[in-house]
Amino acid sequence: MSLAHTGMLMEAALTMSASLRSLQFPERIKYIYAPLEYAWPIHQQYIECFGKQRKRIIWLGMNPGPHGMAQTAIPFGEVETVKSWLKLTGAVQSPQNSHPKKPVIGLSYQRSEVSGKRLWGLFKKHYKSADAFFSSNYVINYCPLMFLDEAGRNITPDRLPKDIRTELEQICDRHLQSAIKCLSPQWIVGVGKYAHRIAKQNASGSIKTATILHPSPANPAANQNWAAKAVQQLQVQGVIFPTR
């Protein structure tokens, strides 16, 4: 265990957050949620508890969802999982500007995030505890911001105009590269196509990349036997995943 690891991860996350504040986003984006700012105590605890050593696999997501990381500051952070399996706590402030239909309540939020429940459910099934999982794994979201339009519809980073997307990705790449340097993974597994593209762009040396089907219910292929499909994908790509 090393305080140097957690210190590097925290510094990288805070630097990314600060750098993203200077970006100017298009007019159609009316609401920007930055959970690493308004819910930083939980993310800080996540790093302190689980970012202490090198990892075999970094699992890479895209950006927060309204029912997960936007509430908890944890990647794919379904509230019940964050509280009962990760056992994290912390204060969550209200964003300066939030959509009335997408409030931030924090760890008392009642709605489950399907993507997070599926992904963390897979990890729970194959590892006896969070500590066992994080002894060789770590989960990161590439972009820490959630974007909503006036109607409250989610605008993912891949749908941003090219010029601002390029600026955003340059900042997020620096954070990811810092995390890779700190955690020295053998694999980066992109959760979904966008994350896999980002993983391939940032992997270097002996680091290998793989991908799994995104667990979002908006993805029709994910709504039947998602976990089994994900495990099969990992096996085909050579990623060793434990069985219980």
β-strand 187-191 against 208-212: which pairing, if any? parallel
Residue 80's pLDDT is 97
Residue 244's pLDDT is 58
Residue recorded with tokens 């305080």:
3
Residue 1's pLDDT is 44
Residue 3's pLDDT is 67
Segment 197-226, tens digit of pLDDT:
999 999 999 999 999 999 999 999 999 999
- Cβ-defined contacts of 224-230 (< 8 Å, 24+): 226/118, 227/118, 227/121, 227/122, 227/125, 230/122
Q: State the pLDDT confidence band at 242, using cuts at 50, 70 and 90.
A: confident
Hey, where are the domains in the chain? 3-236
User: CATH fold of 3-236, please?
Assistant: Uracil-DNA Glycosylase, subunit E (3.40.470)
The average pLDDT across 177-192 equals 97
The structure tokens listed for 222 are: 């994910």
Radius of gyration in angstroms for the set of CA atoms belonging to the chain, rounded to a whole number? 17
Q: State the pLDDT confidence band at 172, using cuts at 50, 70 and 90.
A: very high
Q: What is the chain's mean pLDDT, rounded?
A: 95
Segment 109-164, tens digit of pLDDT:
999 999 999 999 999 999 999 999 999 999 999 999 999 999 999 999 999 999 99
Residue 59's pLDDT is 98
List all residues 6 or more positions away from 110 whose beta carbon is below 8 Å from its beta carbon.
79
CA distances from 9 to 14, 126, 227 (A): 9, 26, 29
